[in-house]
């Protein structure tokens, strides 16, 4: 095959819709996976989400209050185990931006950082985003976050935080599933699926099944036992993507059929925040 024929063949393959990727082209899927914030990705940040939109993003609101506490108190002294002190945890949780089912039901009391996974995740992500630094057991603001707070640049603050949460923070840190990037790799693909299907209530299993078709290699990292590999895979995806990503950022509303997360029966509907944050093409 001549060089120009090879080039033509590659171009044709890259521009061929792939059924398991919801009809996306190979090039589009590449950008979704490896350059989700690049100019060629089908999922793009809106240039300047307005304050009304940012006000409705639970995990981001917790971040803002957390930064305000550090600025007010000059620093936060971590516990001997390197966690946020109870006083700070209670102050953040009492804002009630993001409620924890176990705490609300009384099964767990808010004594330590591990009792509220969302706040712990926010705290670690803020450090990965370069907004907070840890020195000798104390947390202080970085010059970057000081400037963003001074200029009230909430849009950039959100972007830095969101990028760190999706690209740097390990979603698997929050659960006992295999240490593989299930759900986190291709998070933008899940956003795109939600954009396409989320106007109607659907279970997280509905999305997990389509994610599995796009990334079948992940299933082999799960072991058997009382459930099939596929069932464990879908539960992992549902927990990481819906419970601890889409809900935390307010991109979905949940209709609970039981007090606690049940991927088989809980249904989710897309909120207006998704289109308030992203411009989505390729669909």
Measured CA distances, 101 to 55, 65, 109, 216, 261 (Å)? 22, 21, 11, 31, 9
- Cα within 13 Å of Cα(172), Cβ side: 11
Cα–Cα dist 199/114, whole Å? 34
- Are 84 and 154 a contacting pair, CB within 8 Å? no
Q: What is the pTM of this model?
A: 0.91
Q: Which of 188, 198, 195 is nearest to 269 (CA)?
A: 198
| Residue 62 confidence (pLDDT) | 98
| Residue 25 confidence (pLDDT) | 87
Mean pLDDT by 10 residues, the chain (283 residues): 36 59 86 91 91 97 98 97 96 96 91 96 98 97 97 97 98 93 96 96 96 93 84 95 97 82 82 95 61
- Containing H/E element for 155? helix 154-167
Sheet with 138-141: list strands edge to edge.
76-77, 138-141, 132-135
| Residue 264 confidence (pLDDT) | 72
Phi-psi region of 99 (alpha: psi -120 to 50; beta: other; left: phi over 0): beta
Cα–Cα dist 40/229, whole Å? 35
Rounded to a whole number of angstroms, the distance between the first and last alpha carbons of the chain is 34
| Residue 281 confidence (pLDDT) | 78
- Residue 260: which residues within 8 A CB-CB, separation 6 or more? 101
């Amino acid at each position: 095959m001549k060089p120009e024929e090879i080039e033509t063949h590659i171009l044709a393959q890259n521009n061929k819709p792939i059924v398991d990727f919801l009809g996306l082209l190979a090039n589009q899927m590449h950008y979704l996976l490896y350059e989700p914030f690049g100019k060629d990705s089908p999922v793009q940040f809106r240039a300047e989400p307005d304050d009304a939109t940012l006000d409705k993003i639970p995990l981001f609101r917790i971040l803002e209050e957390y930064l305000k506490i550090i600025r007010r108190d000059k620093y936060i002294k971590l516990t001997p185990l390197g966690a946020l002190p109870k006083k700070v945890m209670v102050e953040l949780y009492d804002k009630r931006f993001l409620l924890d089912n176990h705490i609300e039901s009384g099964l767990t009391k808010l004594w330590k950082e591990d009792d509220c996974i969302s706040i712990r995740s926010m705290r670690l992500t803020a450090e990965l985003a370069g907004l907070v630094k840890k020195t000798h057991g104390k947390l202080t603001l970085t010059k970057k976050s000081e400037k963003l707070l001074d200029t009230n640049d909430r849009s950039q603050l959100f972007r830095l935080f969101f990028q760190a949460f999706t690209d740097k923070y390990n979603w698997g840190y929050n659960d006992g599933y295999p240490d593989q990037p299930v759900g986190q790799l291709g998070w933008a693909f899940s956003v795109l699926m939600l954009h396409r299907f989320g106007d109607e209530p659907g279970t997280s299993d509905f999305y997990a099944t389509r994610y599995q078709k796009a990334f079948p290699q992940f299933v082999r990292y799960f072991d058997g036992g009382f459930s099939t590999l596929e069932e464990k895979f879908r539960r992992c995806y549902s927990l990481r993507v819906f419970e601890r990503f889409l809900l935390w950022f307010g991109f979905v509303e949940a209709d609970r059929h039981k007090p606690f997360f049940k991927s088989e029966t809980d249904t989710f509907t897309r909120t207006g925040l998704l289109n308030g944050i992203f411009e989505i093409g390729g669909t």
